[in-house]
Structure 1
Amino acid sequence: MKILQVTHRYPPRAGGVETHVQRVSEGLVARGHRVTVVTADAGSDVSRRERRNGVRIRRCRGVAPGGAFHFAPGVARVVADAAADADLVHAHNYHSFPLALAALGAKSRPFVATPHYHGSSADGLRDRLLGLYRPVGREALRRADAVVAVSEWERERLRRDFGVDAAVIPNGLDVDRFENATPLARERPRPYLLAVGRLVEYKGVQHAIRALTALPEYDLLVAGSGPYRPELETLARDVGVADRVEFLGYVDDDDLPNLYAGAAAHLALSTHEAYGMTVAESLAAGTPALVREAGALVDWAGRPDCLGISRVDPETVADAVRRVVELDAPATLLPTWTEVVDALESKYRALLSSDAEGRP
């Protein structure tokens, strides 16, 4: 098959959607398919045309106010040109314009959409812009021949907000890479809790810092970078736990498994997630997770190796930490990228077969 993937950004850009598209694209190439990725993230630090691990990449210039939406009119033209030689177009991320532009450029080709939809934004301005964008996004999803959600929660939100019936194909995971990880050896031999993710307010790291005042036996390691870090550092000083909070900044992918494996628990207290990849990684490494019952994290709360909380005051979080560290992980199997590619490959073949039967 000749498959055109369309997304807002692609590695070396980092992020959950970026990783998803990369792993799906490279997995399809490994099976003999030809995959081209069209993005809206052209810049001086990347080539406009390149090939990475067998995946052809076309990058278009765009604007991304506040790091969002990635409006790049050239995507529609590039998709239209490339779709002429493609069997199928698969676009990702409802929250950025490339998905809608791909719906226009796909024309008569079978069109698949994976929205990674989380319903709203934690940023007030971005949330208002999403409201204005909704008619465009709705039309793009309704043009899709198939819609794929990465969680049951996302599937229900798509049905509620757009009347769209999606199939669920969860994100995958390199389970082997995490399950054999050696726990991190620290110079300071104290048990630690772990938070992983971009440092923005909605990720909820501030709640873990406040709870540390009631958890004197633990340190907190924070992996990730972002604009909210100064506020988090100030908070740690203000509540008197700065000596027990370690900001690691960006952590290389090769080091993450050991970091997870050494933690007593992973705290995912975000309000806006379409899946919760860090939770899956933590469980695969044998570390239970405390999750906030918001967004798609509610799906994880039902597992016996996770504990869900709806309140995030220091007392509630601290009490939940004391309970979650007693859980064993992983309690049940976690999805792999091989299974994700299997499911998508089957869906692609079914769509192409249906499309062929519908032609005169």
Structure 2
Amino acid sequence: MRIGVVSNAYHPDVGGVETHVRRLVAGLLAAGDDVEVLTQHAVRPTETVDGVLVRRFPLTVPARNYRVSLPLWRWVRDHAVEYDVLHTHSYHALVSLGAALVRHPTPLVFTPHYHGTGHTRLRAALHPAYRPFGRRIMSRAGRIVCVTGAERDLVLRDFPEAHGRVVVIPNGTDPRPVVPGHRPGVRGILCAGRLEHYKRVDRVIRAMGPLGPAYRLDVVGDGPAAGSLKQLAGRLGVAGRVVFHGRLDDAAFAGCLARASAAVSASAHEAFGMTVADALAAGIPTVAAPIPAHQELAALAGPAAWVRMTDPEDVAALAGALRDAVAAGRSATAAPLPTWADVVTATRQVYSELTGMPVPSTGAGAGGR
């Protein structure tokens, strides 16, 4: 099957959607599909990444939150018929609007990664105005793939006409060695993800004060809030115990997971929650904000997984939960979460149902992180 995957950004750009798309693409390639990524970038050219042709189109509007590439839209208009299916990602990026608005007969699959709102005052205010355009994408898609039941409920709340075309395929996790017990040395807490204000990493940094000098926070990721978070750590006097690693490759991130005594996600909005899933898959005790996606993940991980829902606005409670997580020690077994191979199998079934093209069973995995 020939598949065109449309994404706002792609590796080496880092984020939850980028990770999802890269894993899916790697798995489709391993399963024998012919895959191309259609994306946009200010400077990076078209290239082959991990065996996949990544067509990068120049930006017409380079604004960070509202990037648009008209050459990408024109490519989809002129070349969509060359693909058996187009799979576009992210309601919150205008690239999906281009894939839906241009005229072409190719079946469209849409994974919205939908949060139901914007993440700044401006974006939240613009969100209702964008909804008619979002409705065009939802209406054009033959299948809408949500990564949790919580995301599905948000989609159907705002777009009830999508009923009957929505399927839930949870994100996958990477199988990792599980090393139970307590980590030697410093009690390390891992907080990973794009550094946006809605991720509320500032609350985690504030919790480092009451935790005391025996605890260290490893912040993995980059984003627009990075500068203010570093300044906050300095003002609070915990800069020596908060390490900002920036973006990490797969091996370096695996090293952070291996060293972590606990993990935390204070995010206010998630369609899934990759930080929580990665930690639980490695047997790491995890503290998470009590948002629906995190609660669903905890249920999916099962009763043996150590995960505590804690309101990050209560810094004392957050510090106490992190202290308990470190004290609990890592589990001897990984949480039974879906793998990326599971995601690929379920997604290929969606393609098959939409196009009428059979897909053979495969045991191929979904590639590296």
TM-score (norm 1): 0.88
| Distance in 2 (alpha carbons) for counterparts of 1:184 and 1:122 | 36
Aligned position for 1:80: 77
The correspondence for 2:64, drawn from 60, 64, 67, is: 67
* Distance in 2, Cα, partners of 1:162 & 1:150: 16
Q: Partner letter of residue 203 of structure 2?
A: H
Report the CA distance shift for 1:181/1:135 in structure 2 as closer, same or farther (over 3 A): farther
Residue 261 (structure 1) shift: 2.4
- Confirm or deny that 1:97 pairs with 2:132: no
Instruction: Check the 8 A contact 1:215/1:318 in 2, yes or no.
Output: yes
For 1:162-212, what per-residue CA distance to the aligned partner results, in whole angstroms no more than 9, with x for missing partners? Answer: 11232111112221xx325799999xx321212112223221121112122
Could you tell me which residue of structure 2 aligns to residue 290 of structure 1?
287
Q: Which amino acid aligns with 1:323?
A: D
Aligned-partner Cα distance in 2 for 1:181–1:12: 29
**Cα separation, partners in 2 of 1:313 and 1:28, compared to 1, 3 Å:** same
One-letter code of the match for 1:197? Answer: G
Distance 1:241 1:148, change over 3 A: same
- Partner residue, 1:358: none
The answer for unaligned runs of 5 or more in structure 1 is 356-360
Mapped partners of 1:168, 1:152: distance in 2: 6
Provide the residue aligned with 2:308 in structure 1: 307
Deviation at 1:112, TM superposition (A): 0.7
- Paired residues of 2:101 and 2:136 also in contact (CA < 8 A): no
2:193 matched to 1:197? yes
Could you tell me how far 1:270 is from its partner in structure 2? 0.8
Separation (CA, whole Å) in 2 of partners of 1:307 and 1:18: 27
1:208 aligned to 2:204?
yes
Q: How many residues align?
A: 348
Deviation at 1:66, TM superposition (A): 4.8
- The percent of aligned pairs where both chains have the same amino acid is 38
Counterpart residue type for residue 71 of structure 2 = G
Q: CA RMSD in A?
A: 2.5
1:227 paired to 2:213: no
Partner Cα separation in structure 2 for residue 98 and residue 221 of structure 1: 33
* Structure showing greater relative contact order (alpha-carbon pairs closer than 8 Å, 6 or more residues apart): 2
- TM-score between both structures, scaled by the size of structure 2: 0.86
Deviation, 1:226, is 2.9
* 1:92-171 correspondence to structure 2 within 5 Å: 92-105=89-102, 107-163=104-160, 164-165=162-163, 166-171=166-171
Q: C-alpha separation between the residues in 2 aligned to 1:323 and 1:185? A: 14
Match of 2:31 in 1: 31
Helix, strand or coil for the counterpart of 1:8?
Answer: coil
Q: 1:293-330 CA distances to partner (integer Å, 9 max, x unpaired)?
A: 13622323444421112352211102222333327545
Moved over 6 A (4+): 181-186
Seen in structure 2, the aligned counterparts of structure 1 residues 314 and 88 have a Cα distance that, compared at 3 Å, is same
